[in-house]
Chains A and B, each alone.
Chain A
């Protein structure tokens, strides 16, 4: 292997579908062994980017490497050392759990196949259900099976496309423990998600909107970059306030976090002015907070949302 530093290192990645630009000139460099979160609203180009990285879509422009291989011309090599978990469950529902694993092991030409499959089934805790059809599994189990199957060949890079969509919280937590364990073994992970708590578990985040990267960095960097000021309003009357605050000068967006209303904007004085009439209300407690990642993402989505439709 070469002594490359970045497992993924691509520049100017671009993809058009007809007239539409799905991915627009983006750069991503993920150092080996890190877990990166890939965020952005639906249709922003996450899946398209991941597919280009593992050679499932031809990029219209861009250059760079995955695992040291040229991502445009050496996709066969990249595929061998990459595990790709598709957004939609893509193993064979009319094959049993065991048959799916067996097929994957055989396709990758893995040695001692029977032992490996047996071991994987044990690790998954699916030994007793190994002959059940994959299509009969629940969402959480399907996702575990998919992860086990796409890591069967010990890849160096994992590309996970919304792996936890529609999965219960406990299963999500277990899933992330597994990812951190794999990362501890030196595997590089790029995972797309819509969940804030998952984003916060990543070393770095890339936020993409309509094909453009609009924010990147660690959680605190992204929050700092946003330049956002956020006030909180708690109390019985807070519910009625949301509508009245929306649209006032300086108020960029208003969102509830539980029972607490977050009012965010860029200009502190304008925000203070907007809130001034309610300071006196004894039923309301007004304070200030560091914007959460979710505040920042809502803001990013609002800011870029209308621009490119």
Chain B
């Protein structure tokens, strides 16, 4: 009876923790509120890649080429061609008074230069009061123009259709994120939100007991470190599962993220990921003397997690050392798993290379947490 692990004591801890969690409305509200807030902020920020921007086209050189360019712009969802004019002055005026966000100018001799094999300039002026808003549309222009002109570049001009761009569009060149961005971001948010809330929730587990003076009482009783840890972590596993369900529901029904792969596989890996995060949080709580310290340490873990995981920067674009750190972080693997399962329909075989590092991480973090746990107040 003395000494060993006791399931009864684990249940005692669990009962206590669930009651305390239920009573702590603020924290509980935050654990549900933060994910929703982040999801909608991030999700809609990405969703609001501005489309249907009012555009005026000034044509100093009417002809089939200009018609094609106008048609290409009008057909893309980025631009609404509100007016085609032959007066560049009018176009500029519309830009100035805000009735158009873009002015596209097809200069004189455009067709002649194009046919001769020169590379005429297509002048794009953008309302720069919100530079970010137009950047996606701007980035799309060269492609739209090339595609639009392809039909016109026939016969003797055919060689130009697929060669270097026939037209020099004077805008900044950005990579084109059309289509995939949102699908990538929302599943990524699952990993990021869990990292933040799960680590934060457990990082104060023991710290709060310490601050309130109840830690001494807990230590004076015959509770063992592992029992306390299980008692502290388990309620948060439920919270994490609930958060995941919430995020995936919103992802599916609000952001229409495709979900191709197995839900069971996703749920299982999410559990491993959540538990690994809780072990990190619990380790923090064995060290932190007060809740302020716990928060600081949480962010110390959180920042590299989102920066080096491939969530913000493309993983393989990072320097080697950053990739190594990224590989250690469970979020890096979880992001790959979630995207793999949701978007590509990956099965167990495909995700295993990213599953075992998470399990290893969980094991190491759990061991450190139990080791770090002090049975005395020293």
Q: Does B48 contact A (CB under 8 A)?
A: no
Tell me the complex Cα distance, A108–B8, Å: 9
Minimum CB–CB distance from B117 to chain A (whole Å) comes to 80
A93 contacts across to B, CB distance below 8 A: 212
Contact across chains for B16 and A76 when beta carbons are under 8 A apart:
no
Assembly CA distance A57 to B220 (angstroms): 11
Secondary structure of the B contact surface, majority rule: helix
Q: Which residues of the partner chain B approach A56 to less than 8 Å between Cβ atoms? A: 216, 219-220, 376-377
Q: Which residues from chain B contact A257 at a C-beta distance below 8 Å?
A: none
Are B8 and A58 within 8 A (Cβ)? Answer: no
Kindly list chain B residues whose C-beta atoms are within 8 Å of the C-beta of A86.
213, 216-217, 220
Chain A residues contacting B267 (CB-CB under 8 Å) are none
On whether the beta carbons of A103 and B2 are closer than 8 Å, the reply is: no
Q: A76-B2, A79-B221, A86-B217 are in contact. Are A103 and B16 (CB under 8 A)?
A: yes
Q: What residues on A are CB-neighbors of B2 within 8 Å?
A: 76-77, 80
Judge if B9 is at the interface, Cβ distance under 8 Å.
Answer: yes
B15 near A55: Cβ-Cβ < 8 Å? no
Name the A residues within 8 Å of B9 (CB-CB). 106-107, 109
Alpha-carbon distance between A233 and B163 when the two chains are bound, in angstroms:
116
Q: Knowing A95-B16, A103-B16, A107-B221, say if A90 contacts B214 (CB, 8 Å).
A: yes
Binding site for B on A (CB under 8 A): 51, 54-58, 76-77, 79-80, 82, 84, 86, 88-95, 99, 102-104, 106-109
Which partner residue on chain B sits nearest A74 by CB separation? B2
Within B6-45, which residues are at the interface with A (CB < 8 Å)?
6, 8-9, 11-13, 15-16, 19-20, 23-24
Cβ–Cβ contact A55 & B16, under 8 A:
no
The majority secondary structure among interface residues of chain A is loop
* B223 in the interface (beta carbon within 8 A): yes
A54 and B220 contact, CB distance less than 8 A: yes
Structural contact, B376 and A57, CB atoms closer than 8 A:
yes
For B221, the chain A residues whose CB sits under 8 A away are 79, 104, 107-108
Contacting residues, chain A, for B13 (C-beta < 8 A) = 107
CB nearest neighbor in B for A103:
B16
The reply to whether the CB of B3 lies closer than 8 angstroms to some CB of chain A is yes
B215 cross-chain contacts in A, Cβ below 8 A: 90
Is B1 a contact partner of A109 (Cβ separation < 8 A)? yes
The answer on a CB contact under 8 Å between B213 and A89 is yes
CA distance A92 to B223 in the complex (A): 16
* Residues on B with beta carbons closer than 8 Å to the beta carbon of A90: 212-217
Tell me the complex Cα distance, A86–B12, Å.
21
Which B residues are CB-close (under 8 A) to A102? 15
Task: Report if A99-B376 is in contact (Cβ < 8 Å); known contacts: A90-B217, A107-B221.
Answer: no
For chain B, give the interface size range.
Answer: 20 to 34
A-B contact pairs, 8 of them (CB 8 A): A54-B220, A57-B377, A80-B2, A92-B212, A94-B20, A102-B15, A104-B221, A109-B8
Quick check: B220 and A103 within 8 Å, CB to CB? no
By beta carbon, the residue of chain B nearest A95 is B19
Say if the beta carbon of B130 comes within 8 Å of chain A. Answer: no
Which residues from B are CB-within-8-Å of A58?
A: 376, 378
Total number of residue pairs linking A and B with CB closer than 8 Å: 77
Question: Once the chains bind, are A79 and B16 in contact (CB under 8 Å)?
Answer: no
Q: Which residues of A contact B8 (CB under 8 A)?
A: 106, 109
How far apart sit A106 and B375, CA to CA, in the bound complex (Å)?
20
For A106, what are the chain B residues with a Cβ–Cβ distance below 8 Å? 8-9, 11-12, 15
Query: Which are the 9 A-B pairs with shortest beta-carbon distances?
Result: A106-B12, A90-B217, A84-B220, A88-B213, A90-B213, A107-B12, A94-B23, A107-B221, A103-B16
* B residues in contact with A77, CB < 8 Å: 2
Min C-beta distance of B2 to chain A, whole Å:
6
Contact yes or no, A80 B376, CB < 8 A: no
For the complex, what is the distance from the CA of A178 to the CA of B255, rounded to whole Å?
66
B222 contacts partner chain A, Cβ-Cβ < 8 Å: yes
A109 contacts across to B, CB distance below 8 A = 1, 6, 8-9
Q: A55 with B222: in contact, given A106-B9, A106-B11 (CB under 8 Å)?
A: no
Q: How many angstroms between the C-alpha atoms of A89 and B15 in the bound complex?
A: 21
Q: How far is the CA of A84 from the CA of B214 in the complex (A)?
A: 12
Q: Which of B146-202 contact A (CB under 8 A)?
A: none
- The listed residue with most A CB atoms (<10 A of its CB), out of B13, B24, B220, B376, is B220
Instruction: Give Cα distance in the complex from A75 to B7, angstroms.
Output: 21
Known: A76-B222, A92-B20. 16 other contacts (CB 8 A): A54-B220, A56-B220, A56-B377, A57-B378, A80-B2, A84-B220, A86-B216, A90-B212, A92-B16, A92-B212, A94-B24, A95-B16, A102-B15, A103-B12, A106-B9, A107-B13
> CA of A102 to CA of B221 in the docked complex: distance in angstroms?
14
Task: Determine whether the beta carbon of A103 is less than 8 Å from that of B15.
Answer: yes
